[in-house]
Amino acid sequence: MTPPVNELVDADRGYINPLVFTDQGVYEQELEQVFGRSWLFLAHGSQVPKRGDFIQTYMGEDPVLVVRQKDGSVKAFLNQCRHRGMRICRSDQGTSRTFTCSYHGWAYDLEGNLVNVPQEERAYRNEIDKSKWGALKVPRIAEYKGFYFGTWSADVPEFEDYLGDMAYYFDAVFGRWDNGVELVEGTSKWVIDCNWKFASEQFASDMYHAEVSHASALIALHEDPAFWAGTSHQTLMPGRQFGGNGHGSGSFWADSIGFSESMYNSPALSEWVTANADEALRNVSEQQLLKVAGHNTIFPNFSWLAGPATMRVWHPRGPGQIEVWAWTYVPKDAPDEVKAAYRRMTQRTFSPAGSFETDDGENWTEIQQVLRGWKARNNTFNAQMGLGHDERDVHGLPGRTSDALSESAARGFYQRWSDLMAGLSWSDIAELDAARQAKEALHQEVQEA
């Protein structure tokens, strides 16, 4: 029997019940309480540049169409015909004036309004009110630096409030170029047999695994392969981890590690990044360029890595499977040669066959397999790294941070998950966050005294 959801996570003590990764009832509740009440990544503007352009994506397990409108805005609606529930559109992307269900032919316009019903006079005696039978609209969509997020919830805070201090870490990567970024055409999609939280939480919080899990890749890509061989170098690298509102970001600082040239493996890319440093410094601070990169997650399931220039969504497919959708992002104004170099770098490192990506998938799949056991599921996982050692607004970084080798952001991730799963309103969550922050501030004052 599954314990009450509020007993599955104890973020204050760093305890996680493995049932959060395996239980079907927990998963069904997640779809409603977490994915139904959070801001979810929908699309980047470069994916739908012209009127009538659309892509199909998911909000949790709900298929949605994201469409560029005639007025230039972006709207989204549930990709489900209101007649018998068939997908209205079965294409992944394209350009269209209308969308017609292939089952009975009901047709919808770019906003999801029902505009045509076959045999309307004979079959419905002209009595159907088409204005009431449009597709279900995603009621709130927010655009931030060319990225579109949507939510079904009327309760969730405005997107920038939802981001909070995470905006600083987002801007450090996606806000550094005058004309922003674009996605290289094409989406890499693959399935991993693991729970979605393993992936999201790792990209929010876990630099601890890198030296062990990615040892062979680090040796291969470092300018001096002997650097990683036979000893621990993470202890030599300064860095910080941010956690707030369930989001997370972490990085070792850029001036302390030297495998970027080998990761680029492209003189043209390296030279272009160096030559355009002044442009980046006009848009973000030197601190952001040097100390904010690494791994990142916007709660619940949108992640990116700054070095390999990859971003992805971890679409849930039941408690034991995810469908990964990943893209390479590039500076919009970069030459084609540089964009191609970014793409090759992502393919070598974080792609379905990438030298790092395969390590992560192996770990998550193995954990999920172990959790098939009864005793393994009725255990407790330790998330106590760095517990009690968070600081706020230090090293010039906004928000609550800790050492790079910490699980602070992981605890914050599961705390936000637990709050939503308990059915707390967003106003209640805001009050709890304020109380937690006051407690953290008092603890920091005592530590500094």
Predicted local confidence at residue 258, as pLDDT: 36
Integer Cα distance of 258 and 256 in angstroms: 7
Residues 6+ apart with CB under 8 A from 204: 243, 247, 248, 249, 250, 295, 296, 297, 299, 303, 409, 410, 412, 413
More confidently predicted of 100 and 223: 100
Predicted local confidence at residue 232, as pLDDT: 58
Pick from 8-12, 215-219, 233-237, 397-401: least confident = 233-237
How many residues make up the chain in this entry? 449
Interval 10-17 mean pLDDT: 97
Residues 6+ apart with CB under 8 A from 377: 18, 19, 22, 371
Predicted local confidence at residue 210, as pLDDT: 86
Q: How confident is the model at residue 289 (pLDDT cuts 50, 70, 90)?
A: confident
More confidently predicted of 266 and 424: 424
Predicted local confidence at residue 148, as pLDDT: 99
Integer Cα distance of 226 and 251 in angstroms: 22
Pick from 198-212, 218-232, 282-296: least confident = 218-232
Pick from 257-271, 312-326, 351-365, 388-402: least confident = 257-271
Highest mean pLDDT among 82-91, 223-232, 253-262, 274-283: 82-91
Predicted local confidence at residue 235, as pLDDT: 59
Largest pairwise CA distance in the chain: 82
Pick from 26-35, 345-354, 359-368, 381-390: least confident = 345-354
Nearest CA among 211, 227, 237 for reference residue 259: 227
Predicted local confidence at residue 254, as pLDDT: 64
Predicted local confidence at residue 219, as pLDDT: 79
355-381: per-residue pLDDT in tens? 999 999 999 999 999 999 999 999 999
Interval 177-192 mean pLDDT: 97
47-66: per-residue pLDDT in tens? 999 999 999 999 999 999 99
Integer Cα distance of 372 and 391 in angstroms: 38
The fraction of the chain above a pLDDT of 70, given in percent, is: 94
Average pLDDT over all residues of the chain = 93
List of E strands, 207-255: 239-244, 247-252
Residues pairing with 16 in the sheet: 9, 381
**Which DSSP state fits 20?**
G
168-181: per-residue pLDDT in tens? 999 999 999 999 99
Nearest CA among 439, 384, 387 for reference residue 16: 384
Task: Catalogue all structural domains in the chain, each as residue range(s) with its CATH number.
Answer: 40-142 (2.102.10.10), 157-448 (3.90.380.10)
What's the token pair of residue 71?
A: 């007025």
pLDDT at 78 over 80: yes
Interval 204-230 mean pLDDT: 78
Interval 421-437 mean pLDDT: 96
Predicted local confidence at residue 233, as pLDDT: 60
The fraction of the chain above a pLDDT of 90, given in percent, is: 79
Predicted local confidence at residue 3, as pLDDT: 78
Predicted local confidence at residue 273, as pLDDT: 85
Q: Rg of the Cα trace of the chain?
A: 23
Predicted local confidence at residue 180, as pLDDT: 97
DSSP letters spanning 400-439 = EEEESS--HHHHHHHHHHHHHHTT--HHHHHHHHHHHHHH
